[in-house]
Each structure stands twice: as structure tokens, then as C-alpha cells.
Amino acid sequence: MVNMNAILKSITTTNDTGASKSMREDMSAYGGILDREQFNQFMRDVEFNTTILRDAAYKKMNRENVITTGTLIEGRVLQDGYQEDSRETNANLTPAKIGFGKSELTAHKLKAKTFIDDDDLEDNIEGEQFQTTLLSMMGNQIGEDLEAIALFGDTDLDYDDQPLYHTYDGWIKQSTSFLKSSEVATGNSNGDFNVHDNTIEAVFDAIIRAVPARIRQSKLMSRFAIYVPYEVEDAYRNLLKSRNTQLGDDMQTGDKPLMYKKYPIKESPILEDEEAREILNYAPVVGGTPDLWKWGVYKDVKVEPKRLAELERTEFYYRTRCDVSLEWNSSFITAKLDLDEIELIQDEAKV
């Protein structure tokens, strides 16, 4: 018979005096709130299976509302120190313009529930240690869901149809910078890029050109990246593979990280999410400097067990509060690919 008390006590941490204590004792004392060590492990699990969320600027929220600001000097600052055609000091200086970016994070409650049956524990090769694995797996999945909301959250969506995405507005909704492919563009517009005539590189060029000058001219570009779904990543590899060079051979047989004009091209599985594509009605490719994309988790994360002896089951309840924001709304660039053309680009890139 499985000893559930032993299982709960198998997740240990260390207090300030170095003594071992169980998570269950912590839960009794603090109402299920993870301590600092447990919280840090939870966040590592959250980020493990993500790409964009892991690169973005994480903020541990000690308050339910947190405001962060950033500044950039816009334009030139030096001026002639003398008056025109004289050696008299020029006191009529034009002040340098300082651009202020503000990011506001407001904690929104998110909850999850899972359970484990005693029979499953008895049959699992890990035995009682599977408890730790389960908690880590839940952290991984919570991270994937948080990344999905961070990108696709939209409070204008119907709550009954999309209760998760309705929670708060994600980066795409908050952004003010959008690009359309020739297939997505309507009316008199020709679109911002054409991947059929100019290869998949056209979308990369369009995103780079769309970066605001004040960001492109700053050191922030050292962290610039373009995040793509698998179809775009594979199309770019096919394009490079077709070149009779060492680079082409590497794309055929190796796993070399992709770059374009010195900037990394990163495959992000969340951009392949079918539900999100159905909501958006396009396939997104996103780019920018993730240091300006903020996301936060409130300091009090709860994991509480509930023993159901009559069912030989233990339930676990998770509760956290999160939000995302953009320090500069134009820093997050979304390129829209038509859902039909995204299915063609891989074969089109083959030569």
C-alpha cells in the first residue's frame, strides 16, 4: 500500500538553519505558499519548455501591481557651444529629448488542478519519488500555458469560448507593429513582404526594417531575435541547404543554429499552436528585443494537496498570479503569414 504521508514528505527543502523540513510542513505553516527555494525551482520548471518566455524579461512581483520604466535618448545631443559667427557662448541650447517607456504588470489569478491515484504510484517505476516528477511536469506545462497567454491573450475574446486567453492581453494584442504578407494584405495594399517572389528571407528583412530607429541604434539590438514556427524554420534551412556551400552542407546534415544578418532565428513551438492560429486567422512570426517584453509572477505561488482517502487519490491545486506587458509597444513586431501560404513555404524553398 502506498504511504501518501511519506510521499508528501519526500519533497524536502532546507531552512535557514540547515535542517530538513517537508513541503507539507511548509504548507501547514504558510497556507501552501512556496518558499524561496521552492519558488525558484518552480520558475525553472516553468521556463524549461518555453522559448520566447525564457528570453523575455522576467520580474518577480512583490506587489500585485508593478511599474517598470526604461529610458532612451532620442536624436543628437551635442550642439555648437558658440553663437553663430561669434565667439560668445551659446546659452540657447535645445534640450535632449528623453523617451520614456513604461511597463505595468497587474497580477491576474490563474489556477490549475491535477491528481495522482495510489495505484498509479504503485505501478510507476519511480515509486514515491514520482511525486517530485509530477510537480516538475506540472511546472513545465504551466510554463507552456503562460507562454501561450503571454503571446495570444486577448480580453476581447469571449470568456465562454476562450476562458484562458481571455485572462489578460498578451504581447501581440498590446503591440502596435504589424506586418502583412502579400497573401494577407487586402484592398490596394501589396503587403509588407512577399515570401513567394523573394523567399522566406523577405519576412526577416521586413521585421528588421520595422524596428524603431531608437531601438535599432542602441545596444538593445545585441539581444534582438526573430522567433518562428517550424514551417518557417524548415523553409529557411531548405533555402540554405540549396546553396552549394559549406553552410548548405551544414543545414543538410547538422543542427547549426540559424542566423540572418547576424541575428538569431529561433524556432518557437508555441507559434505552431493550432488554436491560436484559428483565433488570429494567420500564422505569426515575431521579432524584437525580448528585454523590452516583460512578464511577471507574483511572489506567492501556492501548491496545496488534498487527500481523498476514500478514492485512494491525492489532488493538487496550483494557484499563481501573472501578467505581461511591453515597455515599448512598438518593440514587439508581428509578421502575419496566411494560413494557406504557411503550408507551401517549405517546398517553395527547395531548389
The pLDDT of residue 42? 85
**Bridge pairing between strands 12-14 and 20-22:** antiparallel
The pLDDT of residue 33? 81
The pLDDT of residue 189? 59
Q: Going residue by residue through the chain (351 aa), what tens digit of pLDDT does each one get?
A: 444 444 444 443 434 443 334 444 444 444 578 888 888 888 899 999 999 999 999 988 888 777 766 555 656 667 777 787 777 887 777 776 655 556 778 888 999 998 888 887 777 666 667 767 777 888 899 999 999 999 999 999 999 999 989 999 999 999 999 999 988 766 555 789 999 889 999 999 999 999 988 888 778 899 999 999 999 999 999 898 887 777 666 767 677 889 999 999 999 999 999 999 999 999 999 999 999 999 999 878 888 888 899 998 888 888 889 999 988 888 999 999 999 999 988 888 776
- Three-state DSSP state, 84: coil
Q: What DSSP line would sit under 238-269, residue for residue?
A: HHHHTSSSHHHHHHHH--PPEEETTEEEEE-G
Amino acid at 86: S
Judge contact between 94 and 79, C-beta under 8 A: yes
The pLDDT of residue 20? 34
Question: In this structure, what are the phi and psi dihedrals at residue 297, rounded to the nearest 5 degrees?
Answer: -125, 130
The pLDDT of residue 19? 34
> Residue 340 gets which letter from DSSP?
T
The pLDDT of residue 247? 66
**Bridge pairing between strands 332-337 and 258-260:** unpaired
d(CA 304, CA 289): 37
- Crossing angle (nearest 10°) for helices 230-241 and 201-209: 110
Q: How many CA atoms lie within 13 A of 11 on its CB side?
A: 25
> Residue 33 gets which letter from DSSP?
B
